[in-house]
Amino acid sequence: MNTNYKLVMDKELDSIKKSGAKPTLLLHVCCAPCSSAVLEVLRTCFDITVFFYNPNISPEAEFVFRLDELKRLLPAMGLNEVSIVAPEYDYTEFADIVSGMEDLPEGGARCRKCYHLRIDKTFAYAAQNGFDYVTTTLSVSPYKNAQWLNEIGIELQEKYGVKYLCSDFKKGNGYKRSCELSKEFDLYRQNYCGCVYSKRDEV
């Protein structure tokens, strides 16, 4: 039976609130629309830095546009204190790890490889820079497998010694809220995840 990761997250957030602490969180983000609802949930509990690492996005102009939308969103939400870390774009990092999987359907093993690549890079940066927690916005999308995302996060917290904040941000109307905030802030909502295969399959 799959774990309800929203309940797991809610318990962790309650514990943090009761402690009076405000730990640091490196939040892997995929785009401004998904980030909006997640930031709204997490902003009171954490000192957040967003990590825009998405070598899967193609073409590069799309990567740049999504990053620019994220830069526009933060001050619009009153989150001027949230900084953005954006590693240099390199599509080959994604292409190399999914080589041989090009013909697989969207949502399958190729996507899990992509999740792992991006979350692993986030953990590596978090460990190098002393962050307390890591999580990702990816689970706010109804097209993303939250079970896989959390399994990867739990695995990598052992590898890197940084806590993973389990989550399923789509639950509790999280995806609906991201749509509402996108409309409020006039955000660009892309019609594909990012890679050429997701564009091909129009998911």
| pLDDT, tens only, 81-125 | 999 999 999 999 999 999 999 889 889 999 999 999 999 999 999
Which pTM does this prediction carry? 0.96
Number of neighbours of residue 19 by Cβ within 10 angstroms: 9
Q: Give 1's DSSP letter.
A: -
**Residue corresponding to tokens 């997701």:** 198
Backbone region of residue 132 per phi and psi (left: phi > 0; alpha: psi in -120 to 50; beta: other values) = alpha
For residues 111 and 198, what is the distance between their CA atoms, to the nearest angstrom?
9
pLDDT tens per residue across span 139-174: 999 999 999 999 999 999 999 999 999 999 999 999
Record the tokens describing residue 30, joined without a space: 């995929």
